[in-house]
Amino acid sequence: MTQISSVAAHTLDVPGARLYYEVRGSGPLVVLVGAPMAAAAFAPLAELLATDYTVLTTDPRGHHGSVLDDPGQDSTPQLRADDLARLITHLDAGPAAVFGSSGGAVTTLALVQARPDLVTTAIAHEPPLHTVFDNIDELNAGTADLVATYASGDVLGTWRKFFAIANIPLPEPVLEQMFGGDRDPADLASDAFWFAHEIRGTNTFAPDLAVLRATPARLLIGLGDDSADQFCDRSVRALTAQLDGYPTMFPGGHVGFVDDPAAFAVRLREVLG
């Protein structure tokens, strides 16, 4: 796509890490965040929003440009929420509308719990939570198997299991193209960090339902139109039921903002508006 805005890339020192982040555009502050998905994946959507918003994207701690002082430190939703709070405060452009997807949705929930004063609207898009279900032990065992499989060196086997657990159909040739062969070392390092230090803390985050119900921030739980029957479809519906609400629908599936950023930007503007 054609770049329409200038991109300012910076780093910010925070406890235990140096965060890489990018800022585009001008206007009210919108934060786009994932985990483990990094800033680059949000760039097309950020470009579209930058015509009327200041858009902040960032690499989560431990991924790509956001380097940890201790590479063996686990990344928790609470730590990542603190990172976001520090970034928003550092920019001095808040409070912000925050869109977090997948692990970034869990980060967003943790941010709303800890610093609702920094958030106007929070959209937690498809958080992969185990704690909203009764069979938590079974789900956690599945994650432990993923971690062990990756640690054994079976990268393709790990991702094959991952998409089976997520109930996201992915043909074997596509799986091999995405996760086999010669890959960018930074992507491989990101995968390794995700499985060793991040996925368990993300899946096992327990939202404080009383705090989320009472938050002064506008909290929405997002769900893709094409995510029916996937794990995150079930987790979103379970969480929204516990919050006495309903999902806010977005186009596409789990990564609809990557697959069709133009359609996603239209819907996100509607929701923010």
**Each residue of 74-92: pLDDT tens digit?**
999 999 999 999 999 999 9
Cβ-based neighbours of 149, under 8 Å, separated by 6 or more? 157, 158, 161
pLDDT at residue 145, rounded to an integer: 97
- Average pLDDT value over all residues in the chain: 96
pLDDT at residue 1, rounded to an integer: 42
Query: Above 90 in pLDDT, residue 2?
Result: no
In-domain check, residue 154: no
* Cα four-point dihedral sign 167, 136, 134, 130: negative
Nearest 5°: phi and psi at 128? -90, 75
For every residue of 226-258, DSSP letters joined together read T-TTSHHHHHHHHHHHHTT--PEEESSSTTHHH
Q: Return the CATH number at 28.
A: 3.40.50.1820
In-domain check, residue 101: yes
- Domain extent at residue 102: 7-136+205-272
* Cα four-point dihedral sign 125, 21, 24, 191: negative
In-domain check, residue 110: yes
In-domain check, residue 52: yes
Express as a percent the part of the chain with pLDDT over 70.
98
> H-type helices in the chain, by residue range?
39-49, 77-91, 103-114, 136-151, 155-166, 172-179, 185-193, 199-203, 209-214, 231-242, 256-259, 261-272
pLDDT at residue 81, rounded to an integer: 98
In-domain check, residue 165: no
Based on the structure, what is the number of domains in the chain? Answer: 1
In-domain check, residue 78: yes
pLDDT at residue 4, rounded to an integer: 55
In-domain check, residue 169: no
Side-chain-side CA neighbours of 85 within 13 Å: the count stands at 18
In-domain check, residue 174: no
In 3-state terms, what secondary structure has residue 117? helix
